[in-house]
Amino acid sequence: DNRRSLGCSRQYFKKRSLRHLDHLSAYDEDAYIEFAKQVLLSVNPYDKEFEAFTTEYYDDNWNMKTKKYDAYASHLTFMKILFGAGQRYMLATSKKVWETANKNIKDEIRPELYKELWDKNVETVVEVLVKSKVLLVQTFAFNILKDNPKALKNIGLEMLLQMMNLAHDEARKLFFEVLKEEYTKTEDTRIIKACLFSEDEEINAFAIEKIGSNLDFLLEEKMMVEIIEKCDEKTMNQIFTLVPKLENKRVIVDDIISKILRDVFPFKPIEVKRMYKLLRYSTDAIKVEDITKLMEEDELNERHLFAVRIIRLKALVHLELPLALKEKIAQYEHPEMLATTIYLLGQLEESELMTAHEMLVTFLYHEEKAVYKEARSIIETLAMDERNGSVLLKAIVEKSFVSASD
């Protein structure tokens, strides 16, 4: 503990990493490939840290100059692995950054270091292609595979499925064509799932087309939950058009209720919107027990709010909620709970509602939209009777004068 520090800086470790790379390539090829793979994949979460940048300096005549560096130029080992045998980049004399040596060279084919080692380890190349989120790395890996057509044809299905979200357009489209051929032979729904969650619209369209002729795909276990969580907006809207055609919507209800009970707060707004819309299409499969599960906890939370929004769906007016559940809803002061209490009041007999007409009119002036919307709906129904309409109009006029400022 009392020994002097070696004073090793970050720059020392960067240079040491370069020397280690050369050592492995000469004495342990397998270790080189493994080390290079880990370096290439390690940059996945750090795209912002390695963005292109510029520096300013004075030339010999004291004129201010600007020098541009490409993305990842400061990552010495990463750049050496990818471009060490090319002509576009060279390591600066300071050995702190890779400079552009030839700006006219932009699309070098296979400028990586030790190409022969990568050609002997195409399985690792496939792994790098699948796992990397960086376009530079995907381009590097795909170019190696194109030089090894036999390896390209032998890529397994599990790997191919993961290729549907590659940033590299040519690679993604090539493997998509392979998967389409495979689906024609096997009708493996894993292919549809991978295509559905791709960020490529053309690939999404293929998935939607196949789902349209095989609606049972949407009823696979937890499939709808994954769709809620992963699909983009356009694809989700296409899924919505297919849901009404499903025969067994109970599967969807079970999956959504399970998700709501399992997820932690706060819920993602886009997911709440999607779940609510799916349940609107599945009202014939919703049971009182589903509402009861969501209302089980005593402390008011998002599950309660989701439950009462479901209760107010017009298609569920037939649900006979137990008195204890209605009383529990009435205990909470939250606007959504109050709106639901008013909605449930609307299911009373006309004579009972007219007895409480002054309270209903008061709710018309509530600041929360959900509250006055439910009150207005009840009042409009009651006012269809001329006598009731007269009584309600009088109460509204009186309330208006009371509410107005001097």
Provide the pLDDT for residue 3.
55
Please state the φ and ψ torsions of residue 357, each to the nearest 5 degrees. Answer: -65, -35
Provide the pLDDT for residue 262.
95
Which two three-digit tokens encode residue 70? 């490409």
Give the position of tokens 């084919």.
109
Measured between alpha carbons, how far is 344 from 317 in angstroms, rounded to an integer?
Answer: 9
Provide the pLDDT for residue 406.
43
Instruction: Split the chain (406 residues) into runs of 10 and give each run's mean pLDDT.
Output: 56 82 90 96 91 89 90 94 94 91 86 95 97 96 96 94 97 98 97 98 98 96 96 97 96 96 93 96 96 96 96 92 90 91 86 82 85 89 92 88 54
Ranges of each domain in the chain: 10-115, 156-213, 230-332, 333-406
pTM of the predicted structure, to 2 decimals: 0.81
CA distances from 244 to 205, 270, 285, 320, 349 (A): 19, 21, 12, 24, 33
Count other Cβ atoms within 10 Å, centred on residue 101. Answer: 13
Per the omega criterion (within 30 degrees of 0), is the bond before 266 cis? Answer: yes
Please state the φ and ψ torsions of residue 159, each to the nearest 5 degrees. Answer: -70, -40
Contact 276, 316 (CB under 8 A): no
β-pair partners for 89 = 100
Q: Provide long-range contacts, Cβ within 8 A and 24+ apart, for 384-389.
A: 385/350, 388/350, 388/354, 388/357
Whether the CA torsion 160, 164, 165, 167 is positive or negative: it is positive
